[in-house]
Structure 1
Amino acid sequence: MSSELNPTSGFEQLRRIESSKLFQGAVIAIIIMSALTIGAKTYDVAPWLEQSLSVLDTGITLFFLLEILFRFGVCNDKKRFLFDGWNLFDTLVVIGSLIPLDNSEAVLLGRLLRVFRVLRLVSVVPELRFLINSLLKAIPRMGYIALLMFIIFYIYAAMGSMFFAKVNEDLWGDVAIALLTLFRVATFEDWTDVMYETMEFYPLSWVYYLTFIFLTAFVFLNMMIGAILEVMSEEQNAEQAQKAHDERDDIARQLQAVQEQLKELTKQVSGKSGER
């Protein structure tokens, strides 16, 4: 049977189109165009250009709608299409983009969801998806590091409030304000001004700041980076193992197909020999 009459062959062709670099490149180009359109609307432009941007935005929304419907159509397991987080995100963004902007109550929501269309670039580019997935999976490990960091922040904030409240009430008046001050120190935002101010009353207070910066800016930051890199390494190894497994399965299917063809040829040869 020819491939034109074979539904499976036609479905595979659509699958190849959906996974092709040309199709993915077109989607990326439209996403970039959408980002430029959103940025252009933040400027004061001529009325004719504003109308052109609105028409272009409508065309982009229509393209995204057709693209998500096409992806749903070529999906092997349509019932689990939305179980994929990226498919769910893309679908919600596309549905949100269909909100009419002429409704005053929905204008802000519609514009916000149109801004999120730029994030679709993450779901289209595999490398960006890999980074985001690794970051999300590293959050539980980073949570314990963040908890330990908060404990250190709280201890130093309590000490700072006890010792330095008389120096500057605005910076060290209570624990909450001291936490904000320590966050300023941790981000190196004019932290030396804070240190020199307390050193006028407590000359050895530089030890307080240096130990705090060493723990937060060097130790805990490197622990955060290490946790993310460890998860990325695990994800990369798992992806390579899955790829190798898929290649073995593909080779096994090809070998099985070759064996079946050999059996068919053997039967045909045996049949012709029997006829003779």
Structure 2
Amino acid sequence: MTFKERLVDVREAKWFSNLTTGVIIFYASVLGFKTIGEVESHYAMMLTALDYMVTVYFLVEIMIKLYAQEKTMDFFKSGWNVFDFVIVVITIIPLDNTAIAPIARIFRIFRVLRLLTSRPELKKIIDMLIGAIPSIVDIVILMFIVFYMYAIVGNFLFEDAASGLWKDFLISMLTLFRILTFEDWTDVMYEGMEIHPWSWIYFVSFVVIAAFVFFNLFVAVIIGEMEKINNKDMVDEMHEEHDKIDLILEEMRAMRAEIKELKKTTT
């Protein structure tokens, strides 16, 4: 095996992915300890050394992935690879002793986001969420229309409420969001019923529409995107299996042709 082939094996190996995941989790722990003043003052040198070690590991990892590509520029065809590369490059720029040192420290936090790219399962979840964005946007727009209508009606009905939860349109929107999260929404309803006894219809209908219907719509969209990804993976696997079968059949045809040639030469 050539050196490049060995690097390809390392890049594709499960242990390499698990090692990267472990390093990222370890680095997240280091960042957490740095927020504890007493720990940082006593172990400042050790935490700094660990920070440098993690930086070197990320740099080596990205170099392995770059060199393992058949063509270097192919590495940047993947959005996830570009994401990794940008994070690594930003975090190795020496900005600690500059005027933007606080920003540099914030950039280091983004290293933890590399956990998303080190686990294929997490990549699949993120891809699923990205694929669901168009449908989610449509649901949010529809949800805003419902909020808008109920806020106007709520302001008209309960503007004089003592709590002031409906005194204007914007406050009414916040109140409806509170009801959506079920944060003491019954208290809001009982206050409204003191003004209009039949107003429970308003609150119950909003809870049914906004909390139950829209929540299930979000779940349905996400499940639908997950099924699309799983179906795509199944189709890709089937294509790979068909390619393997075609390759085996071609090899068998070649062997038959060779056997026929051998029979002709022996007779």
2:190 counterpart of 1:167: no
Q: Which residue of 1 aligns with 2:22?
A: 29
Q: Which amino acid aligns with 2:30?
A: T
TM-superposed CA distance for 1:63, in Å, is: 0.7
Give the match for residue 11 of structure 1. 4
Compared CA separation, residues 46 and 154, structure 1 to 2 (3 A): closer
Q: Which TM-score applies when normalising by structure 2?
A: 0.91
Separation (CA, whole Å) in 1 of partners of 2:71 and 2:203: 57
1:176-195 superposed matches below 5 A: 176-195=170-189
Deviation at 1:270, TM superposition (A): 6.7
Give the corresponding residue for 1:228. 222
Q: Does 1:47 align with 2:41?
A: yes
**1:28–1:121 CA contact under 8 A, matched in 2:** yes
Deviation at 1:62, TM superposition (A): 1.1
Q: Secondary structure at the match of 1:103?
A: coil
What letter is aligned with 2:53? G
Q: Secondary structure at the match of 2:164?
A: helix
Structure 2 CA distance for partners of 1:185 and 1:229, relative to 1, 3 Å: same
Matched, 1:155 2:149: yes
Q: 3-state DSSP class of the match of 1:105?
A: coil
TM-aligned CA deviation for residue 166 of structure 1: 1.0
1:225-264 pair list within 5 angstroms: 225-257=219-251, 259-260=253-254
Alignment CA distance shift 1:73-1:263 (3 Å): farther
CA deviation profile, 1:63-98 (whole Å, cap 9, x unmatched): 101101111111234323222111111111111211
The count of aligned residue pairs is 266
Of 64, 67, 70 in structure 2, the residue corresponding to residue 70 of structure 1 is 64
* Contact 1:99-1:106 at 8 Å conserved across structures: no
**Matched letter for residue 248 of structure 1:** H
CA distance in 1, matches of 2:244, 2:36: 53
SS in 2 for 1:166: coil
Whether the 8 Å CA contact 2:40–2:47 is kept in 1: the answer is no
Pick closer, same or farther for the CA change 1:13–1:104 going to 2, 3 Å. Answer: closer
The correspondence for 1:197, drawn from 163, 167, 191, is: 191
Following TM superposition, by how much is the alpha carbon of 1:125 offset from its aligned partner in structure 2, in angstroms? Answer: 1.0
Flag structure 1 segments of 5+ consecutive residues without an equivalent: none
Q: Which residue number in structure 2 is paired with residue 38 of structure 1?
A: 31
Partner in structure 2 of residue 59 of structure 1: 53
List per-residue Cα deviations over 1:122-168 (Å, max 9, x = no partner): 11111111111011101101111111111000000000111111114
Contact 2:34 2:40 in 1 (8 A): no
Separation in 1 of the partners of 2:220 and 2:174? 26
Residues in 1 aligned to 2:73 and 2:160: alpha-carbon distance in whole angstroms: 65
Determine if contact 1:185/1:191 at 8 Å carries over to the other structure.
Answer: yes
Aligned counterparts of 2:266 and 2:78: Cα–Cα separation in 1 = 56
Q: With the length of structure 1 as denominator, give the TM-score of the two structures.
A: 0.88
1:62 and 1:116 map into 2 onto residues whose CA distance is: 16
8 Å CA contact retained: 2:147, 2:173: yes
Where does structure 2 lack aligned partners over 5 or more consecutive residues?
none
Question: Matches of 2:72 and 2:187 in 1, distance apart?
Answer: 60
More displaced 10-residue stretch of structure 1: 229-238 or 194-203: 194-203
Using a 3 Å threshold, how does the CA distance of structure 1 residues 155 and 76 change in structure 2: closer, same or farther?
same
Offset, 1:210: 0.8
